[in-house]
Amino acid sequence: MVKQGARWRIGSGVNIPFLGAPWLKDGVSLSTTNPIFEPLMQVKLCDFIEQDVKMWKAPLIHSLFDAQTAQLILNTPLQPLVLEDKMIWKREKSGTYSVKSAYRICVTEIADNSHMHVNGRWNLIWKLKVRPKIKKFLWRVCRGFFPTRARLNSRGVSCPIDCVHCNHNYEDSIHILIDCVHCNHNYEDCNHNNDILWWNANLWDAIDRVIQQDCNISALIFTLLHNLSSGQCELMATIMWSLWKCRNMKLWQQQFEIDSQVLQRATHVLEEWQTAQRIRSSSSNQPITPQARPLRQEEDVWKKSAPGRYKCNNDAFFSTSFNMVGLGMCLRDDDGAFVLART
């Protein structure tokens, strides 16, 4: 028997093949490959229904099938008010097919997604009060998706495995985020490394204690997220993101930074985000006075687009500290379902 996402709503049964069609209860079907059913290959479902009373022909069904199959057929409800056969999508209450529910079936029932389940206290990452892209960055590191040179090389990408900063080391996640030596313009002048950066952030003692346990990067991050205060966790995550940005700036733009610049960027990004969230929270809690109340309140409520069209919402912000502009946009379909977002 085969279980699928679509099923038949039984009317007369004239249009429904008895074999291979998902008309049984719970959307299963009788297999077309079972040799016992071979004589029924051309039979329609209507041949087993008493049309005038809309009931199964129980004696006929019991005479043709084993007890289990017969009971499965008889347990499939026939609705007297349903007159026409109709294919419906059983994973939605409306019976209408949706890509979202089809994707859910593929992920949970069809595809082998055992490799996607990785142990870790992921809620510790998602509850961080930092910019969403930093949480996503930390998730990628812990999931093993962090595109270090060592990682890319192990996936068949032809690239050097030496560190972008110090040239003679193996560039993996631990090296970039914890161990790497940082230099200012050239290697000979180098006198800083990441433990100095972490020391200046008042986080090195906690990191050093965990490193002594010989942890991998994901175990290190989860242990720190569990042990540190919320403020320390947020700073740690943002520094790691800033270290990765520093690495990429040297690799792709030939721009060099010392540790104080990496820490300063992380501190500014974190403070700007927290300030913006406080302002947003404060403004949302402000009571609207009669004078300040919008003339048309319905304009403040998001509305779906017209059928067959998409709606794109966007916003922008300006950073005086970095003299930069940020853009964000979100695309939704005519049901209001998320399609795509970019920042």
SS3 of 136-203: HHHHHHHHCCCCCHHHHHHCCCCCCCECCCCCCCECCHHHHHHHCEECECEHHHCCEEHHHHHHHCCC
Percentage of the chain lying above the pLDDT 70 cut = 79
Task: Answer whether residue 228 shows pLDDT above 50.
Answer: yes
- Mean of pLDDT values over 215-244: 93
Q: Check residue 139 and give its pLDDT.
A: 94
Q: Check residue 259 and give its pLDDT.
A: 86
Q: In angstroms, rounded to a whole number, what is the distance separating the alpha carbons of residues 140 and 135?
A: 9
- Mean of pLDDT values over 299-314: 82
- Mean of pLDDT values over 156-169: 84
Q: Check residue 112 and give its pLDDT.
A: 53
Listed in sequence order, the residues at least 6 apart from 253 whose beta carbon sits closer than 8 Å to its beta carbon are none
- Mean of pLDDT values over 170-183: 81
Q: Check residue 103 and give its pLDDT.
A: 66
This prediction has a pTM of: 0.53
Give the pLDDT band of residue 184 (cuts 50, 70, 90): very low
Give the pLDDT band of residue 118 (cuts 50, 70, 90): low
Q: In angstroms, rounded to a whole number, what is the distance separating the alpha carbons of residues 242 and 267?
A: 9
Task: Answer whether residue 267 shows pLDDT above 70.
Answer: yes
Please tell me which of 11-25, 32-46, 105-119 the model is most confident about, judged by mean pLDDT: 11-25
Give the pLDDT band of residue 48 (cuts 50, 70, 90): very high
Give the pLDDT band of residue 15 (cuts 50, 70, 90): very high
User: Is residue 259 a contact partner of residue 242, using CB atoms and an 8 Å limit?
Assistant: no
Give the pLDDT band of residue 129 (cuts 50, 70, 90): very high
Q: Check residue 99 and give its pLDDT.
A: 67
Average pLDDT, the chain: 81
- Mean of pLDDT values over 282-307: 62
**Residue reference for tokens 């429904």:** 16
Please tell me which of 28-37, 65-74, 125-134, 147-156 the model is most confident about, judged by mean pLDDT: 125-134
Give the pLDDT band of residue 188 (cuts 50, 70, 90): very low
Among positive and negative, which fits the CA dihedral 141, 143, 145, 151? positive
Tokens of 231: 């403020």
- Closest CA relative to residue 182, chosen from 129, 122, 261, 236: 261
Percentage of the chain lying above the pLDDT 90 cut = 30
